[in-house]
Amino acid sequence: MTERRTASGIASGRNLASRNFVNWAPIPIVRVDLDSLSDVDISDAKSGQRVWVEVVKHDQVVGILETVSEDGGLSLLKLKELTCVFEKMVLPSHVAIPDDLLPKASVVVPTICQDPSRLVLTVETLLALDYPDFDIIVVDNRRDSRGVPLPSFPGGSKVRVFEESKPGVSAARNRGIANATGDFIAFTDDDVVIDVNWLRELGTRFVNSPEVDGIGGLVLPTELRTQPQLWFEEFFGGFNHTFSAEILSMELLAKTDEMFPYAPGRFGAGCNMAFRRSALETKGGFDVTLGTGTPARGGEDLSLFMKQVLTGGSLAYEPRAVVHHQHRQSEQAFLTQVFGYGVGLTAMFTAMVVRDPRHLARMFRRIPAGYRLLTKPRDERSPSSSASYPRRAYLQHVLGMAYGPLAYARSVARNYFWH
């Protein structure tokens, strides 16, 4: 099974990183293909500088390792030593689908245009996708743009722009769904860089797994230029819990995963997900009382994933569908995000209980497992050899979870009175 691994004990040792970096330096991220291994040059790399290595085998990212550079980069000898843990790995067969059999796709990008240049970059990487038939829908979710238009996008009629003044990413995504033309609809955010094969891997998985209603993909960091960007990977383990392809359903996992389906890390993230149009129409789209831009701050993607499996549907996790995410760069932004994730999680659970009180008893039975998950050593969630994030991050997360139910109530009230 592919998995996230650390290189400590292979190349770097457990004391590679202290809890507080006195002399922080950006961590280069390099991609190494096991099928054509060679020396890796890293511009301006100094001996002993930390490096993250994305390991690729048969065109799939199979793990991330942390090591330290030699002068100028990583030698072939060092890489062979570092990646030997993957030598005997056997990946499942990957069946390519001819272009004429791939379903039409729509890609929805909600935005409040905080960084126009990043939004344009996201659209440009979408336009470069290797996929035969797709369109791009950008949804302007600014409540008051004061007459300021979104930046101009390349792509002509392939990129369509719609407005949704109701605040919240769920309302914006629902506007995108209403105007989509694809047989499946993929969703991403305006702060990611899309892998050229992203949509092809999603479409291929839908064809090869006809029982699947939705798919979550692999999200990797764009950069680790600031320490708070590293903290996100350390604290949450990034957006991913595995590098293995999975099928997720109540039938398959209810007896083997003690937290399923109330385990948010199993499903994927909102910046890399896709659903069949028929599934979205049946489930009514995203919950507009949840998500970024509402008092609930998040949980809308998890809510839809869970709704799918709780009503008998199946989801897939597809690590070949890759996007790179721009993590928050400042300490305050990181701590705000940690708090918001806590809020969104319990707001989402509160919404579930309000709509079906039977969830409360089921969640109560999972409290011991949930506590073990919450208190699991976070050093194990990241390639970093030791965690360096501030301890108050954990407090912020718990405070956010405590506030979540009230935040959901505020969100419901605001939605009721929205015009």
**Residue among 242, 116, 135, 126 nearest 195 (CA):** 126
Contacts for 139 with CB less than 8 Å, ≥ 6 apart: 108, 109, 110, 111, 161, 162, 163, 164, 172, 173, 175, 176
| Averaged pLDDT score across all residues of the chain | 90
Global pTM? 0.92
Answer yes or no: is pLDDT of 260 > 70.
yes
d(CA 128, CA 105): 14
d(CA 47, CA 56): 24
Distance of CA 301 to the CA centre of its chain: 10
| Portion of the chain with pLDDT greater than 90, in percent | 74
Q: How confident is the model at residue 167 (pLDDT cuts 50, 70, 90)?
A: very high
Contacts for 234 with CB less than 8 Å, ≥ 6 apart: 378, 379, 381, 382, 384, 387, 388, 389
Q: What pLDDT is attached to residue 379? A: 60
Q: Please report, for residues 219, 220, 267, the alpha-carbon distance to residue 192 in angstroms, rounded to integers and kept in the order given.
A: 9, 10, 19
Q: How confident is the model at residue 262 (pLDDT cuts 50, 70, 90)?
A: confident
| E strand intervals along 171-224 | 184-187, 192-194, 212-221
Q: What pLDDT is attached to residue 46? A: 83
Q: How confident is the model at residue 265 (pLDDT cuts 50, 70, 90)?
A: confident
Answer yes or no: is pLDDT of 18 > 60.
no
Q: What pLDDT is attached to residue 21? A: 46
Q: Domains, the chain, ranges and CATH?
A: 1-91 (no CATH), 99-335 (3.90.550.10)
Q: What pLDDT is attached to residue 14? A: 31
Q: Which residue shows structure tokens 């999680």?
A: 345
Q: How confident is the model at residue 19 (pLDDT cuts 50, 70, 90)?
A: very low
